[in-house]
Amino acid sequence: MEEPTYDPSRPMPALEVVYAHKLINCPGKTIVGLRVEFPPNGSTPPHRHGGASVSAYVVSGTLLNKMNEDPMKVVSAGGSWYEAPGCHHRISDNASPTEPATLMAVMVLDSEVYERDGMAALIQIDEEYRHT
pTM: 0.93
Task: With CA atoms as reference, report the closest residue to 102 among 31, 39, 10, 17.
Answer: 39
Whether 83 is in a domain gets the answer yes
- CA distances in angstroms from 85 to 3, 48, 82, 96, 102, listed in the order given: 24, 8, 10, 28, 22
Note whether residue 14 is domain-resident.
no
- The string of pLDDT tens digits covering residues 102-129 is 999 999 999 999 999 999 999 999 998 8
pLDDT for residue 2 is more than 70:
yes
Q: Is residue 7 part of a domain?
A: no
Residue 39: domain span: 22-124
- Quick: pLDDT tens for 41-99: 999 999 999 899 999 999 999 999 999 999 999 999 999 999 999 999 999 999 999 99
Q: Counting Cβ atoms within 10 Å, is residue 111 exposed (0-12), middle (13-18) or buried (19+)?
A: middle
CATH code (residue 78): 2.60.120.10
- Domain-embedded: residue 110: yes
Q: Is residue 17 part of a domain?
A: no
Q: How many domains does the chain have?
A: 1
